[in-house]
Amino acid sequence: MKKLLLPLLLLVSFATTAQEHDFSWITGRWTGPGFGGTFEEIWSEPDSNGDMIGMFRYFDATGKVQFYEFWILNETGLKLRHFSGDFTAWEDKEEFVDFSMIESTANKFTLKGLTYELVNDDELEIHLDMKDEGTVTTEIFHLKRVKD
């Protein structure tokens, strides 16, 4: 019995781990208000390793792009780089912003300082911790899935 139990436990453990890092639910285009303008996020389908790429644009109230972000999301977390509206990089060549993975479930992933949660098939809630002069505040954004 013990010989059968160990492989079964390993199989269940592997299946649970694999599901925890399935981010495909975020695939697509999302938009919503934020910082007095509009956010747009576009997420690719996961590749064969489960990695996803994404991009973000922030439009001010006049509709002009103020900055971009480009991302890689995988089981280790989310890495991103910022660019101004004229595509000037904010980070130096070797630098990027790194949000380390804390945990993920079927409709939510929590990173250090950033959380994405699927509220329903067409609504996404993002919690972003922002630090200013030693004070951390959490901004909450509500995005809707854009259906073509």
Domains, the chain, with CATH or none: 23-146 (2.40.128.20)
Distance of alpha carbon 16 from alpha carbon 6, whole angstroms: 15
**8 Å CB contact between 145 and 121:** yes
Counting beta carbons within 10 angstroms of the beta carbon of residue 124, is it exposed (0 to 12), middle (13 to 18) or buried (19 or more)? buried
Reported pTM: 0.82
Q: What percent of the chain has pLDDT over 70?
A: 86
Q: Pull the structure tokens for residue 38.
A: 């509009």
Q: Is pLDDT of 9 > 50?
A: no
Measured CA angle at 97 (ends 94, 98), to 5 deg: 110
The bridge status of strand 108-111 relative to strand 97-104 is antiparallel
**8 Å CB contact between 116 and 124:** yes
pLDDT tens for 63-105 read: 999 999 999 999 999 999 999 999 999 999 899 999 999 999 9
The bridge status of strand 114-120 relative to strand 123-132 is antiparallel
Which runs of E-coded beta strand occur in the chain? Answer: 28-34, 37-43, 52-59, 65-74, 77-84, 97-104, 108-111, 114-120, 123-132, 135-146
Q: Is pLDDT of 20 > 70?
A: no
